[in-house]
Amino acid sequence: MKHFLTLLGFLILPYAVSAQEIDSIVYGYDVRYISDHLFLQRDSDFNVVDYTIEWPEVISFNRLEALKRCITKQLFEFESADIDSSLAAYTRSMGTPVTGQLKSLPDDRRFCYSTLKAELKSFSQGRWASYFISAEVKPESLSAETPRRQSLYVTYDMIGQKLLTSQEMLNKDIERGQVSPDFYKDLFAPFLEGGHSNMQQSVIDGVWLKRDKIAFHVQIQTLDDNISYEVDMPYAKFSKTLSKTARQLVTGKPVAKNPYMQILPLTLDGDTVYKKVENMPIFPGGWEN
């Protein structure tokens, strides 16, 4: 079943345009949570598609067009700023939903498994929004699909209005090994505290700002295993490990708030979307917001 959640913040001047169809709202934050599990058939092939996408309609009053196109490019291999049409086009290319009982047992060798993910890692009002985007396509031996595996950590610079990769976020001194011993001590602490040893190779493939921290995603290859983890380190202590451009995300002047009008549906799949409820939803074992 498809799950859909829209998060709204900084609500200003809400009013109903049509009580049955749409609602017009000026707002500054809208991240849609979209997930689904699909079982599709195309000719003799069967495709299982799982996606979990946090789609940035608006963050800090910014429409983030370049970030949207980056997300769709990584997930679907084509650029678009419209997630709905992108998902529709991608799922159509993978086949039609399987409904009812199959006439015969499908051949496992004709299956393909696709897992797509876009996760908002952090954002700061008027400064940045950081994402982790990954796509993995695993076809079996007789599937017509092409195998693919890629991931990307990317930060949208609202001040400079551009995308920054992790390589562009890091100071080149790290590549030259010109950093303090404390940096490596903190960076590899989770690896050592986990009881691992025999490090053969290490790579920082993800960097993003996180409040007063710098977050790193690290991959380490040992003699018999591949280990990955995230570690947060104090910005005040290790700010020089970031490039000048990355530091300007913190020190630069944030962009001004420029709200715009958005038309939101008051119905979803034939059901009414209620903005006011008698009882707030409860998430057992989780958190409420």
Contact 131, 71 (CB under 8 A): yes
Indicate the average pLDDT of the chain.
87
Q: In terms of domains, do 28 and 143 share one?
A: yes
Whether residue 252 is predicted with pLDDT greater than 90 in this model: the reply is yes
DSSP-based three-state secondary structure for 119: strand
Nearest CA to 130 out of 236, 196, 213 is that of 213
Residue 202 lies in a domain: yes
Q: Which of 11-20, 165-174, 231-240 has the lowest mean pLDDT?
A: 11-20
Say yes or no: 71 and 153 in one domain: yes
231 and 142 in one domain?
Answer: no
Specify if 251 maps to a domain: no
pTM score: 0.80
Q: How far apart are CA 265 and CA 273, in angstroms?
A: 8
pLDDT tens figures, 44-59: 999 999 999 999 999 9
Run of H or E residues at 151: strand 148-157
- Give the phi and the psi of residue 100 in degrees, each rounded to 5: 80, -170
Range of the domain at 152: 3-158+257-272
* Co-location of 49 and 107 in the same domain: yes
Predicted local confidence at residue 12, as pLDDT: 33
From the list 111, 5, 112, 85, the residue with the least C-alpha distance to 52 is: 5
Cα distance between residue 94 and residue 48, in whole Å: 9
- Are residues 150 and 35 located together in one domain of the fold? yes
- pLDDT at res. 281: 65
Do 11 and 61 form a contact (C-beta atoms < 8 A)?
A: no
Q: Do residues 205 and 133 both lie within one domain?
A: no
Taking each helix axis from N to C end, the angle separating 65-76 and 83-94, rounded to the nearest 10 degrees, works out to 10
Residue 179, in any domain of the structure: yes
d(CA 8, CA 281): 16
CA 246 to chain centre: 20
Rounded CA separation 201/191 (Å): 12
Average pLDDT in the 180-188 region?
A: 94
Residue 260: per-residue pLDDT = 56
Average pLDDT for 95-115: 94
Q: What's the domain count of the chain?
A: 2
12 and 80 within one domain: yes
Residues 132 and 185 in one domain: no
- Domain assignment present for residue 252? The answer is no
Residue 184 forms part of a structural domain:
yes
Q: pLDDT (tens digit, 9 = 90+) per residue, 145-181?
A: 999 999 999 999 999 999 999 999 999 988 787 888 9
Looking at the domain assignment, is residue 283 inside a domain?
Answer: no
CATH number of the CATH domain containing 72:
3.30.565
Of 150, 40, 149, residue with least CA distance to 93: 40
Which residue carries 């995230």 as its tokens? Answer: 230
Asked whether residue 149 is domain-assigned, the answer is: yes
Rounded CA-CA distance 168/175 in Å is: 12
Percent of the chain with pLDDT over 90: 70
Specify whether the CB–CB gap between 82 and 57 falls below 8 A. no
Are 139 and 267 found together in one domain? Answer: yes
The rounded distance, in Å, linking the Cα atoms of 140 and 119 is 27
Query: Do 120 and 63 reside in the same domain of the chain?
Result: yes
Residue 204: enclosing H or E segment and its boundaries? strand 199-210
**247 belongs to a structural domain:** no
Residues 137 and 7 in one domain: yes
Residue 16, C-beta contacts closer than 8 angstroms, at least 6 positions apart: 23, 24, 266
150 and 203 both lie in a single domain? no
3 state SS of 125: coil
